[in-house]
Amino acid sequence: SFTAEVVPQAPEDALFGLMRAYRADENPDKVDLGIGAYRDDNAKPWVLPVVKKADSILFNNPELDHEYAPIAGIASFTSKAAELILGGPDSPAIREKRISSIQTISGTGAVHLGALFLSKFYPGTKKVYVSKPTWANHHQIFNNVGIPTVEYPYFSKETKGLDFENMKLSLLSAPDKSVILLHACAHNPTGVDPTIDQWKEIATIIRQKSHFPFFDTAYQGFASGDLMKDNAAIRYFVEEGFELVVAQSFAKNFGLYGERAGCFHIVTGPAPEAQSTITRIASQLAILQRSEISNPPLYGARIASTVLNDQALFSEWEENLRTMSGRIISMRKALRAKLEDLGTPGTWNHITDQIGMFSFTGLTEAQVLKIREDAHVYMTKNGRISMAGLNTKNVDYVAKAIDKVVR
């Protein structure tokens, strides 16, 4: 039977454990800087106004039913998702029909489907190189399908920026044809992204070593407020003719966390047989999808599709993205300014240099536990804070708490 030797007790998911501890805390000053979900200035979840509009359009559409979506998902959604990540219908991969897109269970499902596909069909070195650190789920997802993860250096503790030289050395010394997982923008958990020139150098190494780029994009438009800025790395790789895959989440940029809207894309390089390659790949992806979920969920994809296919709604969405990213960027500025005003030991420029949902503060595990105990400020043990948890009412309080704990 399932004894403890056979099925040992697994540790609780660290992030969800943190959430539980926060909820149980009765201190009125408590601050949640744990989970990566957007909050407004009142620390409340925010339904994007454009999503509310799309919602009412769907609600009033008598044609909609609850039949199964196609196995590959809603085509009006996946085709626009592809255009969004590749920068429009003029992307060479779209013009030359070298892309296959399949709707997934948000970004997690997209990473999983990609990992599963590679586990069955990737002809190169079946090892995936992930940044140290990376979104913890990457390790589990790849390991679960039998692809071991290997870490490449990424974050420099000294500069709290990119450890670019060691990252490059690691990619150079990896076996040829390894899979390289890259965060397209707003790296989770560090908030540190390569510059476009650094992306070009990364691309050169990946080409030289015949590695395979696996992009994870969960923050397009949410990071900078500019959809084209946040997909620049992927666009560059596609323009350079790489064969690659993209796992795309719409959780953050549409605020559709629980609706699980996502997409997995595979792009082949330009070649005479590219289209038949894509057709073969799509046929295999459909079989994997069928055995995993049969048909992807409708609602979130319908919302995103409604917005992505309507010019006026699309513009409104861009405005909503600027609202979210703008608030987060202003909180970065406020936190840094406050820490510098307080003369908090250390340098704090990394708070505004980093981008997206998260900041790697540089606080040690002991400091993280102490700030939780003393000030009821909750963050993950690695010192990562969700910027969305900060607002005009608590940023001074948090800065003072950080100041106290690092002194």
Residues marked active site are found at 135, 216, 252
Nearer of residues 81 and 339 to ligand PMP, judged by Cβ: 81
Closest residue to ligand PMP, based on beta-carbon distance: 107
What does DSSP say about strands 261-267 and 99-105: parallel, antiparallel, or unpaired?
Answer: antiparallel
What minimum distance in Å lies between the beta carbon of 346 and ligand PMP?
26
Task: Supply the minimum distance, in Å, between the C-beta of residue 13 and ligand PMP.
Answer: 12
Cβ distance to ligand PMP smaller for residue 108 or 344 = 108
Q: Which of 40, 401, 88 is nearest to 234 (CA)?
A: 88
Integer Cα distance of 71 and 258 in angstroms:
20
Interface mask (CB under 6 A) for ligand PMP, residues 233-262, using x and -?
Answer: ----------------x-x-----x----x
Choose which of 79, 100, 101, 108 interacts with ligand PMP (CB under 6 A): 108
State how far the Cα of 44 lies from the Cα of 55, in Å rounded to an integer.
20
Sheet holding 149-153, edge to edge: 99-105, 261-267, 244-249, 212-217, 179-183, 128-132, 149-153
Q: Which is nearer to ligand PMP, 106 or 289 (CB)?
A: 106
Question: Are 99 and 278 contacting, i.e. CB atoms less than 8 angstroms apart?
Answer: yes
Among 91, 103, 106, 253, binds ligand PMP (CB under 6 A): 106
Q: Does 218 interact with ligand PMP (rule: CB under 6 A)?
A: yes
With respect to ligand PMP, which residue has the nearer C-beta, 244 or 334? 244
Q: Where are the strands (E) in 67-127, listed by range?
A: 99-105
CA 271 to chain centre: 30
Among 32, 163, 193, 216, binds ligand PMP (CB under 6 A): 216
- Closest by Cα among 265, 245, 231, 263 to 106: 263
Quick check: 135 binds ligand PMP (CB under 6 A)? yes
Place of tokens 């102490």: 370
Residues binding ligand PMP: what is the number (CB under 6 A)?
13
Binding site for ligand PMP (CB under 6 A): 36, 106-108, 135, 183, 188, 216, 218, 249, 251, 257, 262
